[in-house]
Structure 1
Amino acid sequence: MSDVPADLKYIETHQWVRVSDDGTATVGITDFAQEQLGDVVYIGVPEIGVTVNGGEEAGVAESVKSASDVFSPVTGEVIEVNESLEDEPEKVNEDPYGDGWLFKVRLVDKGELDGLMDDTAYAEHVAAEE
């Protein structure tokens, strides 16, 4: 079974979000997603300053096997991107919930988190796909 941290929220397309006390939301792809992709060779992230919308495409993850759209779990202005992934996209495979994060946004509406899956619901979602 894939790793599913309890402190995150998830969406069906296998992205996660961690919200800090200051309203900054960090977004990445889940352990399950990186396992399905295989060796990640490229990560495309949104530009700083653009607004991403919850549930909409915000980037791409490419592996030796396939390419997958990356969706943002939440709506907000992109305030930071993980520039290290440009040279080391394998961080997504090695540490999807840590050094492999993709981008950070200034959250527009914390209430949006209520519509996302918690760790239990996401684990059940993954089990249904396996």
Structure 2
Amino acid sequence: MALQWLILSYVVAAEVVITLMLTLPYPMLIKKRVVQLVSLILQPAASIVAFAGFQLLDLYWKAEHRLSCSSEVCTATERDRSEKSIYKAQRNVVLCAAGILLYWCIYRICKFNKDLELLEAEAKKRSKEE
């Protein structure tokens, strides 16, 4: 189970780096190349959305079926273990949500840049006609 969360955390870290690369101000030629490269990566990387969604469903199912340790019968170590598992689950939910949100941000940034490029090409075409 820990391997899944390690992979997801690496993917989220890579998404953060890609988002930063896309939002930094570059000259237009370099910006176009970066957007083209990231656009090629976007379709295979869409699997992160399904993976994170599955992990969210798994966390929800585990939260619904978790044994609660709130009675006086529980020892302090059992209570601590229960609280630790709840904190880990909350961290993992944030990690899954960040993965999905960052993928969406990368997609929208690439789409925005492509649309901007098309509008610039259209404006150049119109200015040449006049």
TM-score, L = length of structure 1: 0.20
Say which structure is richer in strand: 1
TM-score, L = length of structure 2: 0.20
- Give the number of the structure with larger relative contact order, counting CA–CA contacts within 8 Å between residues 6 or more apart: 2
Pick the structure with greater CA Rg.
Answer: 2
Say which structure is richer in helix: 2
